[in-house]
Amino acid sequence: MTRRQRPLNPAPDADVAAILRRVPKIELHLHLEGSLRPQTVREQANRYAPGSPLAQPGWERDFWRFTDLPSFIPEFGTVLRTTIRSAADYYRVARECFEDLVAQNVIYAEPSFGPRTPGQPFYVPLGETLAAIDQARREVEARKPLRIGLILGFSRTHLMPDGQSAATLARDWLEEALAARKGGLPLCGVDLHGDERGGARRRHLSRRVSRGRGSRARTSRPCGRRRRAAKRARLPARSAAAAPRARRAGGRGS
């Protein structure tokens, strides 16, 4: 029997799991707010809303009732409104997210985050949100082999329903994020979050976002998925060394 014909002898499941834990990984689709630890949700709920079901031990087993994305979004919104109410909260969520990535041996990740719009409950200005997330990133990257590229998410649900107003807000946000990028924020793209069947539509945002000063934004389609209204506007990387292979993979979708 030749080497090519020799039957495979797969490793035991435990060995495979150990190998998967050790192998370096790249995470290209991660919602920062969705990385909340259940324990963090409970602690934050006890701080802000002690009577909430989220403040109970094991809340994650009984809280969820959603059956699809449209029914998930309001439930998830309840979690976010209860747990994230300040820049310090964004810092904690980001710090724990990045530490969890390190624990999984992730070496590069592109988490996206969706700032609240003015007028929403517990609104935190974009600049404060960016600064908090970037502080967490700097602290973790300084001592761990993890590199982060941030994606600014525009919420379909919470952007103003008037397309023109939504596009203006998106442009203002993008220009503010680009200014932070010049100061070292590793912004690598923008995205649309939420249910594609409602909320702000891409065609209202794309032209205005692309006109963001210095953005040179482009859009890309997620690889291997059905045709979607949601497309990501990618920004040029700060340097080719930041994520040599991840950048090329990220450009094809996540």
Residue 182 included in any domain:
yes
Mean pLDDT across 130-153: 96
- DSSP track, the chain: --TTTSPP-PPPHHHHHHHHHHS-EEEEEEETGGG--HHHHHHHHHHH-TTSGGGSTTHHHHS---SSHHHHHHHHHHHHHHH--SHHHHHHHHHHHHHHHHHTTEEEEEEEE-PPPTTSTT---HHHHHHHHHHHHHHHHTTSS-EE-EEEEEETTTS-SSHHHHHHHHHHHHHHHHHHHHTT--EEEEEEES-TTSSS-HHHHHHHHHTSTT---EEEPPTTS---S--EEE---S-TTSSHHHHHHHHT--
Decide if pLDDT at 202 tops 60.
no
User: Which among 18-27, 43-52, 118-127, 201-210 has the top mean pLDDT?
Assistant: 43-52
Q: Please give the residue range of the domain that contains residue 126.
A: 24-39+85-251
- Least confident stretch, 31-35, 49-53, 206-210: 206-210
**How many whole angstroms separate alpha carbon 47 and alpha carbon 41?**
10
Amino acid at 214: G
Decide if pLDDT at 226 tops 60.
no
User: Looking at per-residue confidence, does 62 or 208 come out higher?
Assistant: 62
User: Which among 53-57, 192-196, 204-208 has the top mean pLDDT?
Assistant: 53-57
pLDDT tens for each residue of 111-135: 999 888 888 889 999 999 999 999 9
- DSSP track, 33-88: GGG--HHHHHHHHHHH-TTSGGGSTTHHHHS---SSHHHHHHHHHHHHHHH--SHH
Residue 79 included in any domain:
no
Residue 178 included in any domain:
yes
Q: How confident is the prediction for the chain on average, in pLDDT?
A: 78
CATH of the domain at 177: 3.20.20.140
Residue-level pLDDT at 11: 60
Angle at 181 between CA 236 and CA 191, to 5 degrees: 60
Residue 148 included in any domain:
yes
Residue 133 included in any domain:
yes
User: Looking at per-residue confidence, does 193 or 117 come out higher?
Assistant: 117
Residue 140 included in any domain:
yes
Q: What is the pTM of this model?
A: 0.75
What is the bridge-based pairing of β-strands 147-148 and 150-155? unpaired
Residue 13 included in any domain:
no
Residue-level pLDDT at 248: 35
Residue-level pLDDT at 222: 41
Residue-level pLDDT at 12: 65
Residue 49 included in any domain:
no
Q: Per the structure, how many domains does the chain have?
A: 1
